[in-house]
Amino acid sequence: MSSSSASSSAAPAALTTVAAGHTVTAPTPLGGKPVLIAGSNTLLEYTSLDSVLAGTKMSSVAELEAVLAVNDKWPFPAHMDGWKQAHDAIRFEMDTLMTAIEKTRSLVEAGQGLQQWQVSALQLVTANFYHGVHKHHDHEEEIFFPFMTSRVVVPHKMSADHKTLMALLDKALALANALRPSHNGAIAKPVLADLQNTFAVLRLCMRQHLEEEEAVGLPLLRKHFSAKETQVPEKKILKGLKPADMAWFVRRLAMDQKVEMMKQHHIPYLVQRLVLLPAIRKDSHLYVHAYKQLVAGEALPLDNGAAKQRKGGRVGFGCFAA
């Protein structure tokens, strides 16, 4: 167990927003430097180490780290687990989307109009993020948590958080869909301000939620189950994923890491080549390109392949990725 090298700057004031008729207050990080849990590479920003040990019913940090490390039941460390990898995908997407929203709002506040390409891009990536998180929560509620409860008590908050998070996501998606292009941006300013504030609250609530699942849920899983046993729920989850969902899952990774991830999940080579790699190319043409434009604050040219995708055409084996 070690302290992270992150700066210990003062925590920002708590943010609030109203979602589904309720005021939601963003969590406040603990004081001091976040603690890094070896094995899972999880930073404890909101959860104390004592509460982690109590929640996992482990007597020491050494026991916790041993469970998260390679051992006789787990041939890979906790940070390579599919659960942790899914959380990393969500974190990456949240950070990128937050940057895109902030950039768009700053341009409008500076007097620029809101262009159609900005509206389309924001609506596209927000809907995609919504879908990815919704699917992840469904997998936990319908498959993974029931599997875990056969041997352990899953902390109630891990499931209860989902209702609040989805209410915030509902509001963020509705705000993005309410955007319309305008020459002076006046109409868009209050909508973008509300969207940025709502997403900021969502991001902090989500960070706390993911942290608890990794700090408590993941050690419980690895202590009471083996990697071989968890292949049962993982296969159910993979069976329900479309190629586009897998592309979202590995979006943050470099291509060699994407391939390695597919191998780790035992995806056959032909499926990788004929189904998933075309889906990854389509994902890059649509969503990654949209993010690049929003973060740059300007419309960027599409290559020929991306243009075909935007017009509803297919590239290569793209028909498998729909």
Q: Which residue type does 236 have? A: K
State in Å, rounded, how far the first CA of the chain is from the last one: 44
Rounded Cα gap, residues 26 and 161, in angstroms: 12
Pairing of strands 42-44, 16-19: unpaired
CA torsion 5-7-8-14 (nearest 10°) is -120
- Mean pLDDT per 10-residue segment, the chain (322 residues): 44 82 96 92 95 96 97 95 95 98 97 96 98 97 97 95 98 98 90 98 98 98 97 92 94 90 83 92 97 97 56 31 26
Q: Report pLDDT for 265.
A: 75
The closest of 29, 45, 30, 33 to 2, measured between CA atoms, is 33
Distance from the Cα of residue 92 to its chain's centroid: 6
Confidence (pTM):
0.88
Predicted pLDDT at 318 = 26
Give CATH for domain 35-242.
Answer: 1.20.120.520
pLDDT score recorded for residue 319:
25
Q: Is 254 exposed, middle or buried (0-12, 13-18, 19+ CB in 10 A)?
A: exposed
* Residue located via tokens 């020491």: 60
Residue 302 has a pLDDT of: 81
Q: What integer pLDDT is reported at residue 41 of this predicted model? A: 94
Q: How far is 321 from 91, CA to CA, in rounded Å?
A: 24
